Structure 1
Amino acid sequence: MNNFEVKLVDSLSFYERCLHSQVDENSFRYEIMQPFEEMWRYLSVPLVPKTPGGYDVVMASEMLGIWTPRKEIELIKSKVTSLKDTNIFRQYNQVINESVQLFNDIGYDIPVNEFRLNILLGDSENNILMASEGYSGFGGIPGYILLIVVPNAFNRTRLKSALAHEFNHNVRFTYEPFNHGDVSVEDYLVIEGLAEVFAETLYGVEQRGPWVQEYDQEELEYTIEVMKSGREARGFDQVSAYMYGDEVAREQGYQPVGLSRNAGYTIGYHLVKDYLKNTGETIAQATLTPSRTLVEESRIFD
């Protein structure tokens, strides 16, 4: 059960070369991102721009908060060793094996033969990335995981948890595929709640990401009511406003809806915790449960 291969892109060697030689955007394109070409194709991002200066994998990476050689080398000069020292390059197999074990325990054979992992230095000038304590990830396409990190004291111990979070996305989307163009607020609450509770199950609440906020009871109840009224909204502009809160919505040009930072992640986390408490299921079982069932049996919007 669950026989697969994990392929890690050798980003560390690339970054070390960046410090000692001239490395251009084509090196980044072909050495770092070409192994993820199938993922980018699924997201309609070309490896090479169709017109000079056009949209491509380098531009898309920068939009995600990933450092590329088009940016100043000074931004990563002190970060390469720090990234290596987080130990995630030695621990990633352990994280994936521990994550898989939770699905082995319930007899789920994950329909993926190969997982590709890319651990990347983030752009410290990207305000949205830095607002989440300098790290984030992407696991929206089964078989492909990105971790984006500007190493610091907060996130250096939380990268195992971040990887488990993204791995949960990979598995969830083998069960209930993510419709990027038509995802609802309710769907997104479930997706992010599952991933963060999954990571917490493996590595403890102290390793929880900054995207789950500590609300007092009054703000929690208010936020749940806003989510309740908007949970059927669809489209990434609508979803982003609910998930990330007003500050990020304004920065990205979306219409604010009256929410604090990372409100959707916080409510999603409580939704899944309530579901597990009410049903007695494991987080792996919940990961393979329809979104509507999770919402209804959490009773968070009752």
Structure 2
Amino acid sequence: MTITVLDTYSAMKKILQAPVTNRVDLLRSMLEPVKDMYRYFPGEVDLVAMHQQASGFPLDRDEERCLAALETLATAGAWERMQRALDDALAVQLAATPGLEVPDITVLFLLGDPADDHFIGPSLGMTGNGGMSGYIVITLWPFPENVERLEATAVHELNHNLRYSPGGVVWNPMTVTVGEHVISEGLADAFARQIYGDELGCTRIGVPHLHDEAVFAKVVSGLDVTGMENFTAWVHGDPSAERFGVAPVGLPMGAGYAAGNRLVDAYLAATGQSAAQALHADSSKIIATALGSGS
């Protein structure tokens, strides 16, 4: 089992310095190592289109801003820090769950789009996708708070990857609930907090709502909702729902993350487990235990 953080620094620098007409092909080549993460999508996936839809750095503008941001990340040792963090976190996880089946994992770290208002605004310059076994994609703009949290961000996505890898929890699109998604975010944050502490380990979008009782109650009311098209509204909140054309449900950005942290913390306190030990815990049991304990 090997975790490989790809050298996207060199690749992105080459893309941003190339003639505009050459950039699409160069980007497609850089994205090729993660094409299999879309293996369950119907039909062939256009990697460049996916990059653009996911707030990836632009190919026809803002070159100087992006090159400067790239150097900020390089100076901060971003790629090396993420590699060390993932290797160290895997060791923590294996100590807690001996015999865990771990896939080889490829990590794609990308600059985001500085002109994407939703990415830079409500998303605070960071998105991640770690739910597809064997692949992690992190898209980031180097605000100081995001650079400080590079390790915790990577470890959060690793937790998702290991929860949904073979032998772990099965994400069945036909039956999966908002509750599973909410709990997965809470577990991933709890794992990052176990290693890096509460201040760095909490996903930033959820922090403002951690103690908001109305937000918590609203999220809890939707935990049994099924249909993955609904998850954005319940987990990420109305700003993301509106961005992606989903009906809002009256929740602020990051509401599901805040609720997930509270539910998982209540479960861990009740059971005496660490976040690492709870990697494959059933979300319905976590929810029942947490709510039964008066969270």
CA deviation vs aligned residue, 1:218-269 (integer Å, no higher than 9, x gap): xx32223222322111123311111122232223222221222211110001
| Structure 1 residues 136 and 170: alpha-carbon distance in aligned structure 2, compared to 1, 3 A threshold | same
Partner of 2:240: 248
AA of the residue aligned to 2:178: V
User: Pick from 73, 76, 79: which aligns with 2:66?
Assistant: 76
Structure 1 stretches of 4+ moved >4 Å: none
Q: Would you say 1:98 and 2:95 are equivalent positions? A: no
Q: Does 2:7 align with 1:17? A: no
Once the two structures are superposed, residues 111-155 of structure 1 have per-residue CA deviations (whole angstroms, 9 ceiling, x without a partner) of 234111111111112233212221121101111111111112111
Matched AA of 2:26: S
Q: Is the 8 A contact 1:139 1:170 kept in 2?
A: yes
| Matched AA of 2:34 | F
Structure 1 pair 45/281, CA: closer, same or farther in 2 (3 Å)? farther
CA distance in structure 1 between the partners assigned to 2:108 and 2:55 by the alignment: 14
1:266 and 1:27, CA in 2 relative to 1: closer, same or farther beyond 3 A?
Answer: same
1:267 and 2:266 correspond: no
Aligned to 2:204: 210
Q: 1:107 to 1:261 in 2, by over 3 A?
A: closer
The DSSP-based 3-state class of the residue aligned with 2:14 is helix
Amino acid at match of 2:56: I
Hey, what's the Cα distance between the residues in 2 that align with 1:92 and 1:102?
Answer: 15
Q: Report the 3-state secondary structure (helix = DSSP H, G, I; strand = E; otherwise coil) of the residue aligned with 1:148.
A: strand
The aligned residue for residue 53 of structure 1 is none
Contact 1:88 1:159 in 2 (8 A): yes
Give the corresponding residue for 2:141. 150
Q: CA contact under 8 A between 1:136 and 1:149: conserved in structure 2?
A: yes
Q: Quick one: structure 1 residues 126 and 203, their matched pair in 2 at CA, closer, same or farther if it must change by over 3 Å? A: same
TM-score by structure 2 length? Answer: 0.90
Shifted more, 200-209 versus 62-71: the winner is: 62-71
Q: Among residues 215, 227, 235, which one is paired with 1:235 in the alignment?
A: 227
Residue of structure 2 equivalent to 1:43: 41
Measured on the aligned residues, the alpha-carbon RMSD in Å equals 2.1
Distance 1:106 1:242 in 2: 31
Q: What residue is the counterpart of 2:164 in the other structure?
A: 173
2: CA distance, partners of 1:198 / 1:44: 33
* Structure 1 unmatched ranges of 5 or more: 48-55
Corresponding letter in the other structure for 1:245: G
Amino acid of the structure 2 residue aligned with 1:161:
A
Is the CA contact 2:189–2:261 (under 8 Å) kept in the aligned structure 1? yes
Q: Displacement of 1:96 after TM fit?
A: 1.5
Separation of aligned partners in 1, 2:53 and 2:24: 15
Q: 2:184 aligns with which of 178, 188, 191?
A: 191
Q: Matched residue of 1:29: which SS?
A: helix
Runs of 5+ unmatched residues, structure 2: none
1:278 aligns with 2:270: yes
What CA distance in whole angstroms lies between the structure 1 residues aligned with 2:64 and 2:173?
35
Q: In structure 1, the residue corresponding to 2:146 is in which secondary structure?
A: coil
Distance 1:103 1:227, change over 3 A: same
Q: 1:181 to 1:213 in 2, by over 3 A?
A: farther
Secondary structure of 1:119's match?
strand
Rounded to whole Å, the distance in 2 between the matches of 1:192 and 1:127 is 24
- CA drift of 1:301 comes to 8.8
Is 105-114 or 81-90 further displaced after alignment? 105-114
1:51 matched to which residue of 2?
none
Which residue does 1:50 correspond to in 2?
none
- Read off the aligned partner of 2:271 and give its amino acid letter: T
Equivalent residue letter for 1:69: L
Q: With the length of structure 1 as denominator, give the TM-score of the two structures.
A: 0.88
Q: Residue 110 of structure 1: CA displacement? A: 3.3
2: CA distance between counterparts of 1:140 and 1:267?
Answer: 19
Residue 139 of structure 1: which of 106, 130, 133 is its match? 130
Match of 1:65 in 2: 55
User: Contact 1:140–1:178 (CA<8 Å) still a contact in 2?
Assistant: no
For 2:245 and 2:92, the matched residues in 1 are separated by 39
Contact 1:245 1:262 in 2 (8 A): yes
